[in-house]
Amino acid sequence: MVFKHAYARKGLSGTLLLLSILRDYCGCHWEAWEAWSSCTESCSGAANEDGWDFERCNTNCFNGGSFVELGTLDGYCRCPTGYVGNCCETIVTCGYPGDINNGRVVGISFTYDQVVQYECIEKYNLTGYASRRCTQSGTWSDMSPTCQFAKHCVSSPCKNGATCVDGLGFYTCECVTGWTGAYCDVDIQPPVMEGCPGNLKKFVSNRISEISWPAPTFTDPMATSLIIESNYNTNISLPWGDFSVQYVATKPSNGQVTECIFHISVRPNPCDDLAAPANGILMCNGWQKDYFHICLFTCLSGYYLPQGFNYAQWYVCGQVATGFL
Ligand SMILES: *[C@@H]1O[C@H](CO)[C@@H](O)[C@H](O)[C@H]1NC(C)=O
Ligand SMILES: *[C@@H]1O[C@H](CO)[C@@H](O)[C@H](O)[C@H]1NC(C)=O
């Protein structure tokens, strides 16, 4: 049975008293809650501008709403979640959640508690929430997701043998050695050096001698030309002494430089073994025969050096080219 009833929502009690005895053409009148089957929505309430109104569901709230009575003439429907309206007759709607770029919304119900799904078109991946629910406040839960291009690598954007890694809306290039930059097209390869000699020690007879050494080689895997400079030629006449040799390879295309530095010691040849003179003794400072090795000889008891010879003279290996007695 449908209850129809008019009740006072606002207005003056004096007026209410007056109207309460009046019935309209449907037989409705303003009174305490009761069942009036002949009282319809189109009846009564006509005077609502005067402060009267009509509640078309009477005390029977829709969609599981519960009626809350306020005194004998007034009341309201307390609606369940997701329903609104005087009689809880209106379900909350969130409306169409809106299109997304490069994707679509799957779902046709946009009312309270309904769920829509999102899908991306081919080659796009979804980020964010793949589904949203219509909440009681009439808004969709969460943010709408986005569809982002996930197939950048098919166009081979990475150069020089780099590995392309797809991301969502971006990609990264993992460069091989010698290359850098977003696309691995920036050459950071320095000249590659081979055969840089270690420190050298050369023994020569002459005070100034031609000294040679194996020159290092420099190459560029990227096949650009290199400028190679050195402070000494490979074959050069050098006196006894110590020398620092430097090779510098410069790659003009990127300014990278590789250096080879080593030291050369040029020393006189060691002297031959000195034999002790007949009837004499040789006294040296050690067993070595290197430069600055010093020997002294003296005669055995009862023997003498030839006249005029200063036997106390020290002989130093390498100091005199003519050798020793
Ligand atoms: C995009 O989705 C596909 C399929 O789920 C997956 O294989 C691929 O790794 C994703 N791409 C990115 C960049 O996350
Ligand atoms: C350097 O000297 C070596 C040995 O004397 C010789 O074989 C070579 O040809 C010389 N190289 C140059 C570039 O003069």
Q: Answer whether 103-149 and 192-268 agree in fold.
A: no
Nearest CA to ligand 2 atom 14: 235
Residue 79 has pLDDT above 60, yes or no: yes
* Mean local confidence (pLDDT), 115-132: 96
Helix (H/G/I), strand (E/B), else coil: 13: helix
- pLDDT band at residue 250 under the 50/70/90 scheme: very high
Q: What pLDDT, on a 0 to 100 scale, did the predictor assign at position 101?
A: 96
Nearest CA to ligand 1 atom 13: 167
Which ligand is nearest the CA of 167, by number?
1
Q: How many residues does the chain have?
A: 325
Domain boundaries, the chain: 1-91, 103-149, 152-187, 192-268, 270-325
Residue 1 has pLDDT above 80, yes or no: no
The CA distance from 53 to 28, in Å, is 12
Of 318, 269, 278, 279, the closest CA to residue 295 belongs to: 318
Residue 136 has pLDDT above 80, yes or no: yes
192-268 has which CATH code? 2.60.40.10
Q: 3-state SS of 162-196?
A: CEEEECCCCEEEECCCCEECCCCCEECCCCEEECC
Ligand 2: centre distance to CA 235 (Å): 6
Are 20 and 31 in contact by the 8 Å Cβ rule? The answer is yes
Tens digit of each residue's pLDDT (9 = 90 or more) over 140-153: 999 999 999 999 99
Whole-prediction pTM: 0.54
For residue 150 and ligand 1, the question of a CB distance below 6 A is answered with yes
Helix (H/G/I), strand (E/B), else coil: 15: helix
Are 53 and 11 in contact by the 8 Å Cβ rule? The answer is no
103-149 has which CATH code? 2.10.70.10
Q: Which of residues 21 and 107 earns the better pLDDT score?
A: 107
- pLDDT band at residue 17 under the 50/70/90 scheme: very low
Nearest CA to ligand 2 atom 8: 235
152-187: CATH superfamily: Laminin (2.10.25.10)
Q: What pLDDT, on a 0 to 100 scale, did the predictor assign at position 39?
A: 44
CA dihedral for 26, 27, 29, 31, sign (positive or negative): negative
* Mean local confidence (pLDDT), 166-179: 94
Ligand 1 closest atom vs CA 167:
13
Ligand 2: centre distance to CA 216 (Å): 15
Looking at the chain, the whole-number percentage of residues with pLDDT higher than 90 is: 51
Q: What pLDDT, on a 0 to 100 scale, did the predictor assign at position 114?
A: 95
Among the residue ranges 15-19, 181-185, 294-298, the one predicted with the least confidence is 15-19
